Amino acid sequence: MHQATNAAGTADAAPRAASPRVIVIGCGMSGILMGHRLRQAGIESFTILEKAATLGGTWRENTYPGIACDVPSHNYTYTDEPNPGWSMVNSGGAEIQGYLERSAIKHGVLEHVLFNTEVARATWQGDAWSLETRDGRTLVADIVISATGVLHHPAFPDIPGLDDFSGAKFHTARWDHSVNLEGKRVGIIGTGSTAAQIIPALMDQVGRFSIFQRTAQWIFPLQNRPYRESTKRLLQRFPILTRWLYRWHAFWLEELFSKAVVGGGWRHRLLSWKCRRNLAQVKDPVLRRKLTPDYEPGCKRLIFSGTFYEAMQKPNADLVTEAIERIEPRGIVTRDGRLHELDVLILSTGFKADRFMRPMEMVGEGGLKLSDAWREGPSAYRSLAVPKMPNFFMLIGPHSPIGNLSLITIAERQADYIMKCIATIQCRRVAMAPKPAAVARLLADMKQAAARTVWSSGCQSWYLDKNGVPGIYPWAAGRFLREMKL
Ligand code: NAP
């Protein structure tokens, strides 16, 4: 972080109280973590503002059938909160939600949370932030930390007639559990990571399952399995084993997946071979052709599943690759004129990944609005901070290495970095923000490096910004981990 007052182009700050007033926005995985880190540093003068009535972020909002984390559970774990009791190698969403709730209680974070409190606007007042909530309250903070996550604004497809559909219809992140799917004609638009979990989970329950695929996806075989009770007891008894499992899974993520997508070489060839071999299990050549992507594995976010292809070969699966023309009350009409009649329509169409903490407006130094600063797309210094937004930090902000690592690992390293900035702010009584030139340099380097990644090899994905340039960290995970230690 290019820090400190005038040299960094930031505001002079008034002397502060020994313990800064900190506001964290969002109480999902990273907000809970930030609260824990603040408490570990002896800072109790913080509040976490959460727009919903409960914590959990993505694991609270996504409750679709089959939901699990495709990052192994022992790696999708806070490093100081190992969980020998994970039931599966890749545990389900409800279990992860429970883990987050227990962590928030155990670490005394929960009592710092103000629920049902959504921030509408944050304005830098020269020496502190003034935050206005949607229900008209004003709060003041020396430091604001956004922990709002990346994938939380559902993207709805712009398809004519979408609102005319007469059956039940919902986005995967707003699952309507009151809808009975038993024996129904169900349609799902999208075949990303979310759909790849839903389709196998529902295939045996629904009548006919029409899967509307715009682009085929590469699928890396993932054999999820439960942990035996004896294994859990062993992990409980010897905590070093859970730490070893954390490192083991981290090693594969860093050494194989991360390096394969940013560096290519033998790792990418291995990954490609695994995906192609996985696809070969599809017996019907016509179906296999339809499921074969026309781009490099890893270009879109890789899907991890050991059950997707099996589900797609079931007799009630209907893979529709003809483009969707319109939606009408009875179902979906494809460009070949065929009407696919449906009782239920599931929109597995992803998220607006460029929103971050917006629609909240931030007004920084000199009246600069974040919406103006990010007109060309979100940008940040090391994913953490934005010029002219003093004492403002982000967890899992723009350009985070979300394609390469467990999100918890990323958030932990970023939180550690932010804690170092907070210590500087506290002891040197400064306001910190990055220099615009430093951000511009970094963005130029990133753009160059991004061109060499597999994400730039010719596909459409939410990793790409509106100019088609990957907006995520384009170097290997190891580099990110080293940078966060500086
Ligand atoms: P996604 O990967 O963005 O996939 C959206 C799907 O909807 C794509 O197949 C897309 O087709 C399709 N689509 C969008 N608009 C469409 C339209 N107008 N007509 C037809 N098809 C349309 O979304 P997601 O599956 O929700 O996953 C988002 C991210 O969430 C993942 O990449 C991953 O990072 C995260 N996730 C993680 C886990 C986990 O286990 N860790 C699980 C689920 C999700 P195109 O491909 O043609 O654009």
Q: At 389, list the tokens.
A: 């937004």
DSSP assignment, residue 227?
P
Calculate helix-pair angle for 93-106, 29-40, nearest 10 degrees.
20
Instruction: Calculate the average pLDDT of the chain.
Output: 94
Ligand 1: nearest atom to the Cα of 70: 40
Residue 239 Cα to ligand 1 midpoint, Å, equals 36
Residue 190 Cα to ligand 1 midpoint, Å, equals 6
pLDDT digits (tens, 9 = 90+) for 332-379: 999 999 999 999 999 999 999 888 999 999 999 999 999 999 999 999
Which residue from 170, 194, 305 has its CB within 8 A of the most atoms of ligand 1, so it is best to mutate? 194
- The per-residue pLDDT for 107 is 97
Phi and psi at residue 185, to the nearest 5°: -90, 105
Phi and psi at residue 196, to the nearest 5°: -65, -20
User: Ligand 1, atom 26: nearest CA belongs to which residue?
Assistant: 350
- The per-residue pLDDT for 1 is 53
Which residue from 29, 210, 214 has its CB within 8 A of the most atoms of ligand 1, so it is best to mutate? 214
Bond preceding residue 436 cis, omega within 30 of 0: no
Burial class from Cβ neighbours inside 10 Å (0-12, 13-18, 19+) for residue 401 reads: buried
What is the model's pTM? 0.94
- The per-residue pLDDT for 25 is 98
pLDDT digits (tens, 9 = 90+) for 248-302: 999 999 999 999 999 999 999 999 999 999 999 999 999 999 999 999 999 999 9
Q: Grade residue 404 by pLDDT with cuts at 50, 70 and 90.
A: confident
Q: Grade residue 138 by pLDDT with cuts at 50, 70 and 90.
A: very high
Report which listed range, 5-9, 108-112, 261-265, is most confident. Answer: 108-112
Q: Which residue has the tokens 């071999």?
A: 277
DSSP string, 353-418: TT-TTTTSEEE-GGG-BHHHHTTT----BTTTB-TT-TTEEESS-TT--TTTS-HHHHHHHHHHHH
Q: Grade residue 9 by pLDDT with cuts at 50, 70 and 90.
A: very low
pLDDT above 50 for 13: no
Collapsed DSSP state (helix, strand, coil) of residue 248: helix
User: Ligand 1, atom 2: nearest CA belongs to which residue?
Assistant: 192
Residue 275 Cα to ligand 1 midpoint, Å, equals 18
The mean pLDDT of 41-55, rounded to a whole number, is 97
Residue 348 Cα to ligand 1 midpoint, Å, equals 6
Tell me the C-alpha distance between 141 and 129, whole Å: 5
pLDDT digits (tens, 9 = 90+) for 205-216: 999 999 999 999
User: Could you tell me whether strands 22-25 and 344-347 are parallel, antiparallel, or unpaired per DSSP bridges?
Assistant: unpaired
